[in-house]
Amino acid sequence: MTGIRTVRVELGERSYEVLVGAGARHELAALVPATAQRAAVVTQPGIPLEIDPGIPFEVFEIGTGEDHKHLGTIEALCRSFARIGLTRHDLVIGLGGGMVTDVAGFAASTWHRGVPVVHVATTLLGMVDAAIGGKTGVNLPSVNGLGGKNLVGTFWQPSGVICDLDALATLPPREVRCGRGEMAKYHFLTGDDLLAMDESTRIARCVEIKATVVADDEREAAGKPAGRALLNYGHTLAHALEIETAFALAHGEAVAIGLVYAAHLAHVLGRIDGDRVQHHYAVVGGAYELGTSLPAHLDPQRLLASMARDKKAVSGLTFVLDGPRGVEVVAEVPQAAATEALQVMAGRS
C-alpha cells in the first residue's frame, strides 16, 4: 500500500478504516466484510473509477443532482436489491460523490434493517466530509412549504471508506470548488497549518480531524458545544443560501460564503478580532479562490428566517462561531447581530 494513508474512525466494534491515496481503490477488497457473498454497487453515470471488490457484484445507477435525492430513489434501489436477492450477509458499495454515498448509505441502512456498506468516494467533498461519519439521508421535496435537505436519514457507519485521489484529476472545476468549501472549514477547527501540507497530506488530515470529531460525538448530541456540530461551521448561512438561490449555489460554494459570514458574525459579537476575520478571507477567498460575496439579489430578512429554521438550531438563532475558546456552538444569537453581519458583508462586495 505504498503512499496510501490509513485513518481509523474509532467507534468500538463499529470502528473502520479510511484509506487515502492515489490508487486506494485497489485496496477495496481488503475492506469487504468476510461474510459478504456479493455486492450491490450504487453509483451514477460517468463516475470515473472502476472498482473490483473481489466478490461478484451488480451495478445500480441513480440519477445525478439533488432532484434525484429523494425516497423514490431509495425505493427503486430497494426493488433492485430485492430482484437480486441481496441479504444482510451481502454488501452495498457507494461509488461516487456525497449524493451517492448519502443515498447508498441510507438504502443500506434500511434494507433488511441494515446491510454493511463500504464507500468509495470520488469527489473531494465526499472524501473530506460526506463519506465519513455515517450520516446518510435524502431530501424531503417541499409540499405546502414543508420539506428540506437531508430531512430523512439515518446514522449508519460504513465498514470502510476508500478515498482514491486518482479520481480528483477528473473532477469538473465546480466540483473542485465544492470540495474546497468543505475543506476550508477544517482550517478553523484546529490550529493546523493545512496550507503548508501537500494535497494528499491535507486531505488525509481533514479525514483525521473528521474521524476524531465523529469518534467523540457520533450522533451529534444536543447541547454539546464542541461536538460533531462543529462540522457545520459555515453551514447555517450556507443552507439558507442554497434554499434561497434554489440550489443555484452548490453546497460547497455556499459553505465558503457561510464561513466568512460566520467570521463577521463572531466579530460583531466581540468573539474574534478583525485579523481573524481577514484570516477567513485569506483562506477561503485567497488560498482556495472561492467566492466570498453574498449574492446581490437576496433579501436579508428571508435569509434570517431561513437560518432560524435550520434543523441544527437548538434555541433561537444558532450558529457555530469562532471565539476565544475556538469554534463552538452558540445559541440565542441576537437577530440584530446576525443582520449587522449580513450588512457588513454586503458592504464589502
Annotation says 311 is catalytic: no
Looking only at residues 205 through 244 of this chain, which bind ligand GLY when binding is defined by CB under 6 A? 228, 231
Q: Please report whether residue 135 would count as binding ligand GLY according to CB under 6 A.
A: yes
Distance between CA 131 and CA 115 in Å, rounded? Answer: 16
Amino acid (1-letter code) at residue 209: I
- Nearest to ligand GLY of 53, 134 (CB atom): 134
The candidate with the shortest Cα–Cα distance to 51, out of 167, 158, 135, is 167
The residue within the footprint of ligand GLY, chosen from 17, 90, 129, 175 (CB under 6 A), is 129
Helical segments of 269-317, H only? 274-281, 300-308
Q: Is there a contact between 207 and 235 (Cβ–Cβ < 8 Å)?
A: no
- For residue 69, indicate whether it is catalytic: no
Per DSSP, the three-state class of 63 is coil
102-121 residues in contact with ligand GLY (CB under 6 A) are none
Q: Work out how close the CB of 86 gets to ligand GLY at its nearest, in angstroms, rounded to a whole number.
A: 26
Question: For residue 160, which of 343, 32, 1 has the smallest C-alpha distance?
Answer: 32
Distance from chain centroid for Cα 281: 21
Supply the DSSP symbol for 132: S
Backbone angles phi, psi at 242, to 5 degrees: -60, -45
Nearest residue (CB) to ligand GLY, 19 versus 206: 206
Residue nearest ligand GLY by beta-carbon distance: 231
- Residue 210 appears among annotated catalytic residues: yes
For the packed helices 71-84 and 98-110, what is the interaxial angle rounded to 10 degrees? 60
Rounded to the nearest whole angstrom, what is the least distance from the CB of residue 135 to ligand GLY in the complex?
Answer: 5
Question: Under the criterion CB under 6 A, does residue 39 sit at the interface with ligand GLY?
Answer: no
Candidates 113, 297, 311, 325; catalytic one: 113
The edge-to-edge listing of strands for the beta sheet with 39-43 is 5-9, 16-21, 160-164, 117-121, 91-96, 39-43, 57-61
The one catalytic residue in 235, 264, 267, 280 is 235
Asked if residue 133 binds ligand GLY (CB under 6 A), the reply is yes
- Catalytic (active site) residue 113: yes
Stretch that binds ligand GLY, among 13-21, 44-52, 129-137, 155-163 (CB under 6 A): 129-137
Query: 29 or 221, CB closer to ligand GLY?
Result: 221
Grid cell locating 150? 437531508
User: Among the options 5, 25, 135, 264, which is catalytic?
Assistant: 135
**CB closer to ligand GLY, 135 vs 267:** 135
Query: Rounded to an integer, what distance in angstroms lies between the CA atom of residue 307 and that of residue 330?
Result: 13
Among this protein's residues, is 220 annotated catalytic? yes
CB neighbours of residue 136 within 10 Å: 27
Instruction: List the catalytic residue out of 17, 175, 208, 220.
Output: 220
Nearest distance, CB of residue 206 and ligand GLY, angstroms: 12
Catalytic residue set? 113, 135, 182, 210, 220, 228, 232, 235, 239, 251
Binding region for ligand GLY (CB under 6 A): 129, 133, 135, 228, 231
